């Protein structure tokens, strides 16, 4: 199976501040890959590099086996959908109309929505449990409702690669779980899904593979049990996993970590 997205010894940063250093990662279709790491580790920067929003100083990025430099902006927008970490929309625009923006890469400028576009929009709204407020304005929705609409916009693109940056921040627990289920559904349909997460429990439960970044370098990757070993938890996060006996004693069935 060919990787959908490949980082080959990538280094990148902002002005005089290097962030990524020699990162090599392959993102495969049909899988959910979680990017985890402490604040400032380079997770968002790696996504920005993948999208061509930030140039590399060293190394190469390949999208669907083609060098990122060979993709036009329009073709990239069809191949990769992105939900940024700070995405929000307090605009006086109907939620359905905002989700329809996800179809722009598939349409000529100012062209009306096709029946295929409209079907993709309605499907995305339904999957994100947002159809019931699709006619309401974005500036009338709660932060959690807006987050679901913005995710629907990304899903409506129907891209081969889905990049999602900290999507669970404004969601209640049930919609956090639904979000991760949606990402798994996208992967089951063949998409390569990359999601940055601070919640290691969500990452462990829903990601097929986890990549741990620390100070701009990959320090661990693999299935959760390997990538989030006791050593990695201690070195990267300064925490330790609670064992079953400790959970029973401390009565913390939901939070499986403790500070070192």
Q: At what angle do helices 173-188 and 143-156 cross, to 10 degrees?
A: 0
* Percentage, residues of the chain above pLDDT 70: 92
Q: Is the pLDDT of residue 251 over 60?
A: no
Give the lowest-confidence range in 31-40, 161-170, 249-258. 249-258
Local confidence band at 252 (pLDDT 50, 70, 90 cut-offs): very low
- What is the number of residues in the chain? 260
| Angstrom distance (rounded) from CA 88 to CA 204 | 27
Query: 209, 159, 248: which is closest to 36 by C-alpha?
Result: 209
H-helix or E-strand containing 152?
Answer: helix 143-156
Residue whose tokens read 């999507």 = 167
Residues 6+ away with beta carbon under 8 Å from 114? 107
- In the numeric block, which tokens belong to residue 155? 């899903």
Amino acid 76: pLDDT: 95
| Angstrom distance (rounded) from CA 136 to CA 85 | 23
Mean pLDDT of 23-45: 97
| Angstrom distance (rounded) from CA 13 to CA 205 | 31
Which tops the pLDDT comparison, 147 or 88?
147
The model's pLDDT over 165-206, given as tens digits with 9 standing for 90+, comes to 998 877 888 889 999 999 999 999 999 999 999 999 999 999
Residues 6+ away with beta carbon under 8 Å from 8? 24, 59, 60, 61, 62
Amino acid 157: pLDDT: 95
| Angstrom distance (rounded) from CA 36 to CA 178 | 20
Phi, psi (rounded to 5 degrees) for 3: -65, 145
The model's pLDDT over 115-124, given as tens digits with 9 standing for 90+, comes to 999 999 999 9
């Amino acid at each position: 199976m060919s990787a959908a997205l490949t980082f080959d010894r990538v280094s990148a940063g902002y002005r005089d501040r290097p962030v990524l250093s020699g990162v090599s990662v392959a993102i495969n279709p049909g899988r959910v890959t979680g990017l985890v790491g402490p604040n400032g580790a380079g997770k968002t920067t790696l996504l920005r590099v993948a999208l061509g929003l930030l140039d590399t100083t060293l190394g190469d990025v390949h999208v669907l086996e083609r060098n990122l430099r060979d993709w036009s902006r329009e073709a990239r927008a069809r191949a990769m959908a992105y939900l940024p970490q700070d995405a929000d929309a307090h605009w006086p625009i109907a939620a359905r109309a905002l989700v329809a923006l996800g179809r722009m890469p598939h349409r000529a400028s100012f062209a009306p929505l096709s029946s295929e576009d409209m079907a993709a929009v309605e499907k995305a709204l339904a999957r994100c449990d947002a159809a019931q407020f699709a006619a309401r304005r974005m500036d009338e929705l709660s932060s959690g409702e807006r987050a679901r609409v913005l995710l629907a916009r990304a899903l409506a693109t129907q891209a081969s690669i889905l990049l999602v940056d900290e999507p669970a921040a404004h969601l209640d627990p049930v919609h956090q779980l639904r979000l991760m289920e949606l990402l798994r559904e996208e992967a089951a349909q063949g998409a390569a899904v990359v999601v940055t997460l601070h919640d290691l429990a969500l990452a462990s439960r829903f990601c097929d593979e986890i990549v741990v970044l620390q100070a701009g370098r990959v320090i661990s990757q693999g299935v959760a049990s390997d990538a989030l070993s006791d050593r990695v938890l201690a070195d990267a996060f300064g925490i330790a996993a609670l064992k079953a006996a400790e959970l029973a004693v401390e009565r913390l069935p939901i939070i499986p970590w403790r500070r070192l």
